[in-house]
Amino acid sequence: MVKKNGLELENLPKHFKKDREIVLAAVRSDGFAIVDADSKFLDDKEIAIEAIKNNTGAFLLLNKNLTMDKDILTLVGLDKHIKKGEK
Predicted local confidence at residue 85, as pLDDT: 54
**Three-state DSSP state, 87:** coil
User: Measured between alpha carbons, how far is 85 from 54 in angstroms, rounded to an integer?
Assistant: 29
pLDDT, tens digit, for every residue of 31-87?
A: 999 999 999 999 999 999 999 999 999 999 999 999 989 999 999 988 776 665 555
Q: In the prediction, which pLDDT does 84 show?
A: 59
Q: pLDDT grade, residue 15 (50/70/90)? A: very high
The pTM (predicted TM-score) of the whole model is 0.85
pLDDT at residue 56, rounded to an integer: 92
Structural contact between residues 47 and 27, judged by C-beta atoms closer than 8 angstroms: yes
Residues 77, 43, 8, 5, Cα dihedral to 10°:
30
Identify the pLDDT of residue 20: 97
